[in-house]
A and B are shown apart, each in its own frame.
Chain A
Amino acid sequence: MKNKIHGHLNSKLITILSRLLQLSLSFVILFLFVFILLRQLPADVSQSENGVDSVVTEQIKNRLQLNDQGHLSFAHYLQNIVSGDLGQSYSRPGRSVVGLLFDGSQLTFVMAGISFFISVLVSYGLIVFSRTVMASQRKIMDYILMAVSSVPLFCLAPLLIWYVAAAHDYFPLVFDGTVSSWFLPVFLLSLKPTVSLARHLGERMDAEHFSTSNQWLRSLGFSEFKIVGFFSFLKASSGYFSQMSLVLIHLLSGSFFIENIYGITGLGRLTFESVMHRDWPLLLGLTLWVGACVMLVHFLFDMVALFVTRNKGMEI
Chain B
Amino acid sequence: MLNKFCHIYLLVFILAVIGINFVDAGAYTSVQANKMMAGPSWIAPFGFDALGRNLFLRTLFSAQVSLFLGLVSAVSCLLFGFVFGWTISLLPKIAQNIFLRFLEICLSIPSLLLLLVVSVLWQEKLSGYFSFLPSAWQNILALAVCLSVCGWFSFARFSWRVLAEQKQMPYMQSALVIGATPTQMWWKYIWPNVRIDVMVFFGLQIPHFLLAEGLLSFLGFGIHSPQSSWGLLFFDGWKMITVAPHLIVGPALIFSVTVFCLVYSLYGYQKTQDPILRWQTY
Judged by DSSP, the binding face of B is helix
**Closest CB in chain B relative to A91 CB, distance in Å:** 14
CB-defined contacts of B104 to chain A, threshold 8 Å: 26, 295, 298
How far is A88 from B114 in the complex, measured between Cα atoms in Å?
A: 21
Interface residues of A in 166-187 (CB under 8 A from B): 166, 171
Interface residues of B in 194-217 (CB under 8 A from A): 207, 211, 214-215
Q: Are A291 and B108 in contact, with the CB atoms below 8 A?
A: yes
Q: Are B259 and A152 in contact, with the CB atoms below 8 A?
A: yes
CB closest residue in chain A, given B106 = A33
Number of A-B residue pairs, CB cutoff 8 Å, is: 130
Q: Are A165 and B242 in contact, with the CB atoms below 8 A?
A: yes
Q: Which of A99-107, A125-133, A143-151 contacts B (4 or more CB under 8 A)?
A: A143-151
Residue B167 lies at the interface, judged by CB distance under 8 Å to chain A:
no
- Given A257-B215, A291-B108 in contact, is the A25-B101 Cβ separation under 8 Å? yes
Interface residues of A in 151-201 (CB under 8 A from B): 151-156, 158-159, 161-162, 165-166, 171
How far is A283 from B116 in the complex, measured between Cα atoms in Å?
A: 9
Give chain B's interface residue range (CB within 8 Å of chain A). 35 or more
How far is A159 from B256 in the complex, measured between Cα atoms in Å?
A: 12
- Given A29-B102, A154-B214 in contact, is the A272-B260 Cβ separation under 8 Å? no
How far is A260 from B114 in the complex, measured between Cα atoms in Å?
A: 17
- Given A26-B105, A43-B122, A253-B111 in contact, is the A287-B117 Cβ separation under 8 Å? yes
How far is A286 from B116 in the complex, measured between Cα atoms in Å?
A: 12
How far is A245 from B256 in the complex, measured between Cα atoms in Å?
A: 26
Partner of B113, one of A158, A161, A271: A271
Q: Are A256 and B112 in contact, with the CB atoms below 8 A?
A: yes
CB-defined contacts of B252 to chain A, threshold 8 Å: 151, 155-156, 158-159
Residue A62 lies at the interface, judged by CB distance under 8 Å to chain B:
no
**Closest CB in chain A relative to B252 CB, distance in Å:** 4
How far is A29 from B256 in the complex, measured between Cα atoms in Å?
A: 38
**Closest CB in chain A relative to B176 CB, distance in Å:** 30
CB-defined contacts of A249 to chain B, threshold 8 Å: 107-108, 110-111
Residue A275 lies at the interface, judged by CB distance under 8 Å to chain B:
yes
CB-defined contacts of B101 to chain A, threshold 8 Å: 22, 25-26, 29
Residue-wise, chain B 100-144 has the 8 Å CB interface mask toward A (1 for contact) of 011011111111111011001110010000000000000000000
Residue-wise, chain B 67-109 has the 8 Å CB interface mask toward A (1 for contact) of 0000000000000000000000000000001100110111111
Give chain A's interface residue range (CB within 8 Å of chain B). 35 or more
Partner of A275, one of B2, B107, B120, B214: B120
**Closest CB in chain A relative to B224 CB, distance in Å:** 15
Q: Are A158 and B108 in contact, with the CB atoms below 8 A?
A: no
CB closest residue in chain B, given A249 = B110
Q: Are B263 and A150 in contact, with the CB atoms below 8 A?
A: yes
Residue-wise, chain B 226-240 has the 8 Å CB interface mask toward A (1 for contact) of 000001001001100
Residue B45 lies at the interface, judged by CB distance under 8 Å to chain A:
no
How far is A287 from B111 in the complex, measured between Cα atoms in Å?
A: 11
What are 24 inter-chain pairs, A to B, with CB distance below 8 A?
A25-B98, A26-B101, A30-B105, A33-B106, A42-B121, A42-B122, A42-B125, A43-B121, A43-B122, A143-B2, A146-B260, A147-B260, A152-B211, A152-B259, A153-B215, A154-B231, A154-B234, A155-B256, A257-B218, A260-B219, A286-B113, A290-B113, A295-B105, A295-B108
Listed in ascending order, the chain B residues whose CB lies under 8 Å from chain A are 2, 97-98, 101-102, 104-114, 116-117, 120-122, 125, 207, 211, 214-215, 218-219, 221, 231, 234, 237-238, 241-242, 245, 248-249, 251-252, 255-257, 259-260, 263-264
| The 7 A-B residue pairs with the shortest CB-CB distance in the complex, in nearest-first order | A43-B121, A155-B252, A150-B260, A294-B108, A253-B110, A151-B256, A150-B259
Listed in ascending order, the chain A residues whose CB lies under 8 Å from chain B are 22, 25-26, 29-30, 33, 37, 41-43, 48, 143, 146-147, 149-156, 158-159, 161-162, 165-166, 171, 249, 252-253, 256-257, 260, 271-272, 275, 278, 283-284, 286-287, 290-291, 294-295, 298
